[in-house]
Amino acid sequence: MTKQEIINAIKAHAQENYDNGWDFVVECYDDADIEKRVSWGIAPYSLPDALAEFAEMVGLRTEAMQEARDAGGADEEAAAWKQELAREAGMLHGVAAYNDAMGQSLDAPE
């Protein structure tokens, strides 16, 4: 598969799994963002590898959002931890864009 075919397949998978945590990929990632996010590594890069990278990111974000909901919000320390986790996972751009679009925040309440 070419890079563009892999990007298109990731977008299609995200659309099909919109309600299963992939909504922020649909809402916040364009082709260039997807291309930057995938570690192309040694060619040829496979679709299962690319989907696994995105699935890990989706899982981390879903878990962080669930923890925030379970806690009834986020305190300052928890918010900082979640932002660092997102940064380490290379998904801060997508999380910030999604949260802005959806009016959600992992920041501590004022």
Could you report the per-residue pLDDT of 77-99, keeping only the tens digit for each?
666 666 666 655 555 555 555 55
Residue 76, phi then psi, degrees to nearest 5 = -60, -45
Would you say residue 103 has pLDDT above 70? no
CA separation for the pair 66, 60 (Å, rounded): 10
- pLDDT for res 105: 58
Q: Mind listing the pLDDT tens digit for each residue in 7-59?
A: 999 999 999 999 888 988 998 899 988 888 876 665 557 888 888 888 888 88
* Cα-based distances in Å from 56 to 52, 73, 76: 6, 23, 25
Query: What's the pLDDT score for residue 57?
Result: 85
The owner of tokens 């099909």 is 16
| DSSP-derived secondary structure letter, 46 | P
Give the torsion through C-alpha atoms of 89, 85, 31, 18, to 10 deg.
110
Task: Round to the nearest angstrom and report the end-to-end CA distance of the chain.
Answer: 48
Q: Could you tell me the pTM of the whole model?
A: 0.61
54-80 pLDDT, tens digit per residue, is 888 888 888 887 777 777 655 666 666
